[in-house]
Structure 1
Amino acid sequence: MLDTTPLTAAVERIADRLRAAPQSRLQRGAAAEGLALARELARRAQRIEAPDKEPMIMPDAGVFAVADQLGVAGTDLAESLRMAAASQRELDEAVECVTRVGECLRPLL
């Protein structure tokens, strides 16, 4: 079974940073970047769970909810990867995506 700990750990690091960020920084782009990442992770999970169905777009629940949305999307993707017996490559791509966004968020947080 695939160990998705690197994915969930990377997602939680970013979510924690978003939770700790002041409103001004969230509004200057950090929340938008976090939501974009949450939407991407949710899209990946949906593609695994229902490959023939068009993925739904995660709604924008506001700057103060984005950290939780990211946490949920990351957990959903990790579980989808585990349950589908996905490849290590799929997991590595997801971790790379999260890491890349985390690096982009650094100056915003």
Structure 2
Amino acid sequence: MLDCTTLRETAGALAGRYRSLPQSRLRGEVAAAGLALARELAVRAQRIEFPGREPLLMPDDGVFAVGDQIAVAAHELAAALEPHPDLAAVRDEAVSLIRDTASRCGL
């Protein structure tokens, strides 16, 4: 079983920071970067769970939902990865994406 603790914790921390941002910070690039991250994590999870099926696009539910979308997408990816110890590189790339998004957005 693949340990996805770091993936969950890193995503949870970033999601918490998004949830605490004022609306003025969420407008524009910060929210867009968070949504792009959530969408990418969701696509990666779907590719593992449903190979051969075109991944569904996570909807834009507004700036106040971005933190929750990051948390849900990361949780889904972790759940999809855990039975596949051979996919550690996918987990590590996801953690890097989360950290990069946090850094780019000053979070």
TM-score scaled to structure 1, two decimals?
0.92
Q: Is the 8 A contact 1:48 1:84 kept in 2?
A: no
Distance 2:93 2:2 in 1: 14
How far is the alpha carbon of 1:103 from its aligned partner?
Answer: 0.8
Q: AA paired with 1:51? A: P
Distance 1:70 1:94 in 2: 11
Q: AA paired with 1:44? A: R
Equivalent pairs counted in the alignment come to 107
Matched-pair identity in %:
50
RMSD (Å) for aligned C-alpha atoms: 1.2
Look up the match of 1:100: 100
How far is the alpha carbon of 1:86 from its aligned partner?
Answer: 4.1
| Unaligned 5+ runs, structure 1 | none
How far is the alpha carbon of 1:28 from its aligned partner?
Answer: 3.0
Look up the match of 1:41: 41
Look up the match of 2:82: 82
| Unaligned 5+ runs, structure 2 | none
Instruction: Write out the 4+ residue segments of structure 1 that deviate beyond 4 Å after TM superposition.
Output: none
Look up the match of 2:73: 73
Look up the match of 2:55: 55
Q: AA paired with 1:68? A: D
Q: AA paired with 1:88? A: A
Q: Is the 8 A contact 1:7 1:91 kept in 2?
A: yes
How far is the alpha carbon of 1:13 from its aligned partner?
Answer: 1.2
TM-score scaled to structure 2, two decimals?
0.93
Residues 40-73 of structure 1: per-residue CA shift (max 9 Å, x gap): 0000000001120110100000011111111100
How far is the alpha carbon of 1:21 from its aligned partner?
Answer: 0.4
